[in-house]
């Protein structure tokens, strides 16, 4: 039977069914390919010069905050140094680092720790000033006896005794001598002291106020800063930030070690020299030795007090030994501690501290080594740059007279 026209398979043969293609696949093939959506780009002038719009506002903001920059900087330094302790404190009380209660409590603790030593030192100085005034009043009633060592000087001893007796030896001589001082000079000194106290009270108050927000929002700010630095600046910038944090902590740690070393050593020196309350005056010397050149003034004052009570040789010995202790701690111990943490030698730490103090004041003692540590790290990375190795090798070969390099 003819079956071909009916579309039936021949005898003994199996007809293949046509492959069914899913409609979704056909639709994907037939659908026209959409062009990629272009990225929204800013105009070249806006991308290149857009920062100029923000520059005047940044300058204006710095001008408005110029008197608050130092308190803010101190708050940042204190927060960086104490941040590990703050995290431990927040964990112990069962709070997060962004908790306002934890930030408030820890700010109070840090304020006591920072300001209590200074209050103790200046309180001791003011108490001693009161004793000095009482002692001068007593001398004004009785007259000031000439020191034995001055009277015993050869050739000038007799002349010195006569002059001393005419000026300070009679009752009322001290008040007469003080009246000779110009009242304008005393007024200028009092005004300078008042401005000093006012400025540092202002700095301390706003430092504590900013420190609370630094603890409460510090973790968020650090995360944002790290992301911005990693994305917008050089890839090595996070490492520079870590180095700056390490340098700040090492500088503060060196200052604390310096205070402990100076306090213990000068306490022993004062006790051997017969200074009344040697532990108190040793603590005052150690605390104020953290401030540049102030420790020497305390040692000199203690020596003058000893000399005024007739212990001239003890005064000289205590003054020399105390000055050596402060010099060794400030110029050797602290630079060694700071330099070991930030890979700077003793010379650069010392120069950075002194130069920073001359330029920025007390905060420059901390910022000077930080800036030099960052510059040193950038220099080391620059000389390790592979692109510079051929030039460095060529320069070294030329210096030693390599004939191959000379021919080239």
Given this model, what pLDDT does residue 353 score?
A: 85
Going by C-alpha positions, the residue among 370, 355, 357, 367 that lies closest to residue 292 is 357
User: How far is the first Cα of the chain from the last one, in angstroms, to the nearest whole number?
Assistant: 99
18 DSSP 8-state letter: P
C-beta of residue 147 within 8 angstroms of C-beta of residue 165: no
Q: What is the DSSP letter of 387?
A: G
Please return the burial class of 214, using the count of CB atoms within 10 Å of its CB with bins 0-12, 13-18 and 19+: buried
Residue 325: phi and psi, rounded to 5, are -60, -45
- Residue 27 burial (C-beta neighbours within 10 Å; 0-12, 13-18, 19+): exposed
Residue 130's CB is within 10 A of a number of other CB atoms, namely: 10
Would you write out the chain's pLDDT as a tens digit for each of its 408 residues?
444 444 444 444 445 555 554 554 444 444 444 444 554 444 444 545 556 777 788 888 888 888 888 889 999 999 999 999 999 999 888 888 888 899 999 999 999 988 888 888 878 777 777 777 777 677 667 666 667 666 677 776 677 777 776 666 666 666 666 666 555 566 677 677 778 778 888 888 999 999 999 999 888 888 888 787 777 766 777 788 888 888 888 888 888 888 899 999 999 999 998 888 888 888 888 888 887 788 888 888 888 888 777 777 888 888 899 999 999 888 888 888 888 777 788 888 888 888 888 888 888 888 888 888 888 888 887 777 665 555 545 554 554 444 434 444
For residues 272 and 318, what is the distance between their CA atoms, to the nearest angstrom? 8
Report residue 371: phi and psi, to 5°: -65, -45
What's the pLDDT at 408? 40
Nearest alpha-carbon partner for 82 in 57, 123, 119, 110:
110
């Amino acid at each position: 039977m003819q079956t071909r026209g009916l579309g039936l398979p021949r005898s003994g043969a199996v007809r293949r069914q046509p492959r069914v293609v899913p409609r979704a696949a056909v639709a994907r093939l037939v659908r026209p390919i959409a062009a990629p959506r272009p990225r929204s780009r800013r105009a070249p002038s806006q991308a290149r010069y857009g920062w100029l719009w923000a520059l005047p506002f940044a300058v204006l903001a710095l001008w408005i905050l110029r008197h608050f920059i130092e308190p803010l900087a101190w708050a940042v330094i204190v927060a960086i140094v104490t941040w590990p302790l703050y995290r431990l404190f927040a964990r112990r009380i069962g709070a997060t680092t962004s908790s306002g209660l934890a930030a408030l409590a820890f700010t109070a603790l840090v304020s006591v720790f920072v300001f209590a030593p200074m209050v103790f030192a200046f309180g001791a100085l003011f108490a001693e000033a009161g004793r000095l005034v009482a002692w001068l009043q007593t001398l004004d009633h009785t007259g000031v006896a000439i020191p034995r060592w001055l009277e015993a000087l050869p050739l000038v001893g007799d002349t010195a005794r006569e002059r001393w007796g005419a000026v300070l030896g009679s009752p009322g001589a001290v008040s007469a001598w003080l009246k000779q001082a110009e009242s304008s000079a005393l007024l200028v000194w009092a005004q300078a002291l008042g401005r000093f106290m006012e400025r540092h009270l202002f700095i301390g108050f706003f430092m504590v106020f900013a420190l609370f927000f630094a603890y409460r929002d510090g973790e968020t700010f650090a995360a944002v800063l790290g992301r911005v630095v990693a994305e917008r600046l050089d890839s090595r910038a996070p490492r520079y930030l870590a180095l700056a944090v390490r340098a700040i902590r090492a500088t503060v740690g060196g200052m604390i070690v310096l205070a402990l070393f100076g306090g213990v050593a000068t306490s022993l020196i004062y006790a051997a020299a017969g200074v009344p309350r040697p532990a108190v005056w040793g603590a005052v010397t150690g605390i104020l030795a953290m401030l540049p050149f102030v420790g020497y003034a305390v040692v000199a004052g203690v020596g003058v007090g000893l000399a005024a009570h007739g212990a001239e040789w003890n005064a000289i010995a205590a003054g020399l030994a105390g000055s050596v202790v402060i010099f060794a701690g400030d110029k050797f111990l602290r630079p060694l501690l700071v330099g070991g943490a930030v890979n700077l030698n003793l010379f650069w730490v010392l120069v950075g501290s002194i130069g920073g103090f001359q330029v920025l004041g007390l905060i420059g003692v901390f910022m000077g080594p930080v800036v030099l540590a960052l510059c040193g790290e950038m220099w080391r990375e620059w000389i390790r740059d592979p692109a510079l190795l051929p030039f460095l090798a060529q320069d070294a070969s030329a210096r030693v007279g390599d004939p191959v390099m000379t021919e080239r």
